[in-house]
Chain A
Amino acid sequence: MASGIYVATSGAVARQNQLEIVANNLANVDTDGFREQQVSFQEVLVDEVDAPNRRMVALGRTYGSQRQGSLKTTNNPRDLAIEGTGHFVVGTESGQQLTRALTLQLSPRGDLQDAFGRRVFGETGPIILDDLESVRVDRRGQLVRDGEVLDRIRTVDVANPSGLQPTGLGLQQPTQESGGPFLVEAQVVAGALESSNVNALESMVQLVQLQREYQTLSRAISSYREAEEGLIEAARS
């Protein structure tokens, strides 16, 4: 059997996976702080007995787009967004994770939390306040009450933000590729949230393109089969 049929199949499978990623991007076109997932293809060399160095294609990796999503004002002074680079830090069961959109609230015990009850971190550790209503968040992320700075909401960045791994619920987790988080001064905007950075138009183009490519590869698979049938016919006659 010609090896080309396997190559065409590997390409078709890669397009199926790409479709799933585009579907997720479009499903999250309205998710605040969402980072569009982009995908790269890579060549895979497969050594088999009959075909050394057979070239196949597969999805290489997924990475988050770092394009800034547009900031939309919400008029809730406890919605926080970051302009430019940087991430907020919240505590989860699996350690500290990063997020681009934060809505502050206070637990009955006075712990500063995000909208899901995950702890929000300050300069030195978790932040405890007696009242949130009178607190204003300034451009540097400082919690200010009557001109007095109470704490600063921790903002971090990583060496390679596109290597961050999304874990759902608006969170991203540092990986080996992104590098560990380090403290930075981010430009915090209160009363706004960062919209999803998915570009719907681009995603639709990807969708059309990958479908056409899938069709082409399907034709190729069929052609290989027909050619093979022709060969068998020829051998018979």
Chain B
Amino acid sequence: MTRALYTAATGMQAQQLKIDVIANNLANVNTDGFKKSRATFQDLVYQTLTTAQPDAGTGTVNGIQVGLGSRPQSTARDFREGSLRNTGNQLDLAITGEGFMQVRLPSGEVAYTRNGALSLDAEGRLRTQQGYLLEPEVVVPPEVGDLSISPEGVVSVRTEADNEIIELGQLELVTTVNKSAFEGIGENLYRLEGDSRDLLIGTPGTEGFGRLQQGFLEGSNVQVVEEMIAMISGQRAYEANSRVIRTSDEMMQETNRLR
């Protein structure tokens, strides 16, 4: 019966993790570019109480195996696209389709994001709201007119003086064969775990890469109803496991009352 106690505890821990993940999803229901996660579980090892042995009456019989509970397997991220929202801001970019924008962290490391709420730094360079510079760098000269970013990632401005269009640079997107290698590091950023050879860098709008949508932002892909249902089922499973602990405890009390 003590085995049942620990088994139920693993079940409760698993459900606790599930609720933790749901809580984070719900907390980010309004975070632009956020991708929800989902906790998955697996069964633990099995203990064999009696091994299978041939029985003259019933043919071969299976042994008795007792499993020792469950444990978290992974928190898989769901990279489905969130809905686009019109902001009208010329420095807001949404990616429709595959791809991430590359930013350079102060540490020199490269990170990836789907949140295209951009701004300019003092030197006119395009950067994210957190201040990380876009890679490759695009510099917007001061005192120019409307900035336009084409679906193919070409950044251009129309000069106010002679109404001429000047191309300032080309934005790039990054995808990878194995998106599960993207590890969230907060601030809507992902880091690539493992081999960077798997990365594909390309121009927006070409095959395999999404297009850019100026004046839009990609909303969070969290569906509140879905999360609420998962939360209810998680809570019920938690209760069921705690009920096992109580049953186990009561049976042990029963044993102690024997005289």
- Chain A residues within CB distance 8 Å of chain B: 15-17, 19-24, 26-32, 34, 37, 39, 59-63, 74-76, 103, 105-106, 108, 115, 131-133, 163, 165-170, 175-177, 200, 203-204, 207-208, 210-211, 214-215, 218, 221-222, 225
Contact = CB atoms under 8 A, between A and B. Distances in A.
Contact of B80 (A23, A34, A75): A75
B12 to A, nearest CB: 8
B178 interface: yes
Contact of A23 (B3, B45, B73, B257): B3
Contacts of A106: 177-178
Contacts of A211: 247, 250-251
7 contacts: A23-B3, A26-B244, A28-B70, A132-B177, A133-B208, A165-B63, A207-B247
Given A31-B43, A31-B70, A20 B7 contact: yes
Interface stretch (B88-96, B183-191, B235-243): B235-243
A163 B44 CA distance: 19
A177 B254 contact: no
A27 B69 contact: yes
B133 to A, nearest CB: 28
Interface of B: 1, 3-5, 7-8, 10-11, 14-15, 18, 38, 40-46, 49-50, 52, 59-70, 73-74, 76, 78, 80, 175, 177-178, 180, 194-195, 197-198, 208, 233-234, 236-237, 240-241, 243-244, 247-248, 250-251, 254-255, 257-259
Contacts of A132: 177-178
A59 B49 contact: yes
A204 B240 contact: yes
Contact of B65 (A60, A165, A200, A215): A165
Nearest to B257: A218
A200 B67 CA distance: 17
The 10 closest A-B pairs by CB, nearest first: A27-B11, A24-B67, A23-B4, A23-B7, A27-B69, A61-B62, A168-B45, A31-B41, A28-B70, A23-B244
Contacts of A170: 42-43
Given A62-B65, A105-B180, A222-B259, A29 B254 contact: no
Given A17-B49, A62-B64, A76-B78, 7 more contacts: A23-B11, A61-B62, A74-B78, A105-B180, A165-B62, A169-B42, A177-B60
Given A19-B1, A133-B177, A29 B73 contact: no
B70 A166 contact: no
Contacts of B42: 31-32, 168-170
B11 A29 contact: yes
A39 B59 CA distance: 17
A62 B52 CA distance: 10
A177 B61 contact: yes
B52 A177 contact: yes
Nearest to A211: B247
Contacts of A215: 254
A177 B61 CA distance: 7
B244 A207 contact: yes
A169 to B, nearest CB: 5
Contacts of A163: 62
Contacts of A167: 45-46
A170 B64 CA distance: 18
A169 B59 CA distance: 29
Contacts of B180: 105
A21 B67 contact: yes
Contact of B259 (A26, A28, A168, A225): A225
Contacts of B52: 175-177
Contact of A27 (B10, B175, B208): B10
Contacts of B78: 74-76
Contacts of A200: 236-237, 240
B64 A59 contact: yes
